[in-house]
Amino acid sequence: MAVYTHLGAEDLARLLAEYHVGELVSAKGIAEGVSNSNWLIETTTGRFILTMYERRIDIRQLPFFLGLLDHLAAHGCAVPATIHDRSGAAFREIDGKSVALIEFLPGVSPTRPTPAQARSVGAALARVHVAAQDFAPERENDLAPRHTAAILERWGEQALADIDPRFPSLIGRARELVSNWPTGLPRSIIHSDLFPDNVLMVGSKVSGMIDFYFAAHDMMAYDLAVTHAAWCFDQSGEKYDASVGNALIEGYDSIRPLDRQERDALPLLAQGACLRFVASRAEDWLDTPAGAQVLRKDPMDFVRRWNFYADQGATAFA
Amino acid sequence: MAVYTHLGAEDLARLLAEYHVGELVSAKGIAEGVSNSNWLIETTTGRFILTMYERRIDIRQLPFFLGLLDHLAAHGCAVPATIHDRSGAAFREIDGKSVALIEFLPGVSPTRPTPAQARSVGAALARVHVAAQDFAPERENDLAPRHTAAILERWGEQALADIDPRFPSLIGRARELVSNWPTGLPRSIIHSDLFPDNVLMVGSKVSGMIDFYFAAHDMMAYDLAVTHAAWCFDQSGEKYDASVGNALIEGYDSIRPLDRQERDALPLLAQGACLRFVASRAEDWLDTPAGAQVLRKDPMDFVRRWNFYADQGATAFA
Q: Measured between alpha carbons, how far is residue A188 from residues A127, A139, A224, A317, B55 in Å? A: 11, 11, 12, 21, 49
Kindly report, residue by residue over A117-165, the tens digit of the pLDDT: 999 999 999 999 999 999 999 999 989 999 999 999 998 988 889 888 8
> What number is the average pLDDT over the span B94-109?
93
Average of per-residue pLDDT values in chain A: 92
Main-chain phi, psi angles of B182, to 5 degrees: -70, 150
Nearest CB to A26; choose among B2, B28, B106: B106
- Give domain limits for chain B: 9-103, 115-316
pLDDT at A2 over 70: no
Here the ipTM equals 0.82
Asked if the Cβ–Cβ distance from B28 to A28 is below 8 Å, we say yes
- Give chain B's length: 318
Radius of gyration of chain B from its Cα atoms, rounded to whole angstroms = 20
Which residues of chain B have a Cβ shorter than 8 Å from any chain A Cβ?
1-3, 8-13, 24-32, 40, 42, 106-112, 200-202
Decide: residue A102, CB within 10 A, 0-12 exposed, 13-18 middle, 19+ buried: buried
Interface test with A, best of B30, B47, B204 (most A CBs within 10 A): B30
Closest CA to B16 of B94, B113, B95, B105: B94
8 Å CB contact between A171 and A151: no
DSSP A84: P
pLDDT at B219 over 90: yes
8 Å CB contact between A269 and A227: no
pLDDT at A65 over 60: yes
Neighboring chain A residues of B31 at a CB cutoff of 8 Å: 2-3, 28-31
User: Percent of chain A scored above 90 by pLDDT?
Assistant: 79
Rounded CA separation A192/A144 (Å): 10
pLDDT at A34 over 80: no
Rounded CA separation A118/A243 (Å): 9
Rounded CA separation A25/B108 (Å): 7
**CA–CA min distance A276, chain B (Å):** 25
Query: ∠ CA A169-A174-A179 to the nearest 5 degrees?
Result: 135
Judged by average pLDDT, the poorest of A30-39, A169-178, B260-269 is: A30-39
Identical fold between A9-103 and A115-316:
no
CA A310 to chain centre: 23
Q: Which comes out higher in pLDDT, residue B295 or B297?
A: B297
> What number is the average pLDDT over the span A216-241?
97
Rounded CA separation B180/B174 (Å): 10
In three-state secondary structure terms, A171 is: helix
8 Å CB contact between B12 and B25: no
Interface test with B, best of A30, A105, A293 (most B CBs within 10 A): A30
Q: Which comes out higher in pLDDT, residue B6 or B211?
A: B211
Q: Kindly tell me the sign of the dihedral angle through the C-alpha atoms of B282, B284, B286, B289.
A: negative
Question: Is B115-316 a CATH 3.90.1200.10 domain?
Answer: yes
Rounded CA separation A90/A168 (Å): 45
pLDDT at B3 over 90: no
Rounded CA separation A176/A171 (Å): 9
In three-state secondary structure terms, A122 is: helix
Element (H, E) at B27: strand B24-30
**Can you list the positions of beta strands (E) in chain A?**
24-30, 36-43, 47-53, 82-83, 92-94, 97-103, 187-190, 199-202, 205-209, 216-219
pLDDT at B293 over 60: no
Instruction: Considering only the C-alpha atoms of chain A, give the largest distance between any 2 of them, rounded to a whole number of Å.
Output: 58
pLDDT of residue A56: 63
> What number is the average pLDDT over the span A12-32?
93
Asked if the Cβ–Cβ distance from A26 to B108 is below 8 Å, we say yes
Nearest CB to B26; choose among A8, A10, A108: A108
Rounded CA separation B242/B317 (Å): 10
pLDDT of residue A78: 97
Query: ∠ CA A85-A88-A89 to the nearest 5 degrees?
Result: 70
Confidence of residue B137 (pLDDT cuts 50, 70, 90): very high
Neighboring chain B residues of A27 at a CB cutoff of 8 Å: 108
Closest CA to B222 of B146, B170, B145: B145
Confidence of residue B235 (pLDDT cuts 50, 70, 90): very high
> What number is the average pLDDT over the span B158-177?
91
Main-chain phi, psi angles of A18, to 5 degrees: -80, -5
Specify the CATH superfamily of domain A9-103: Phosphorylase Kinase; domain 1 (3.30.200.20)
> What number is the average pLDDT over the span B122-130?
98
> What number is the average pLDDT over the span A267-280?
96
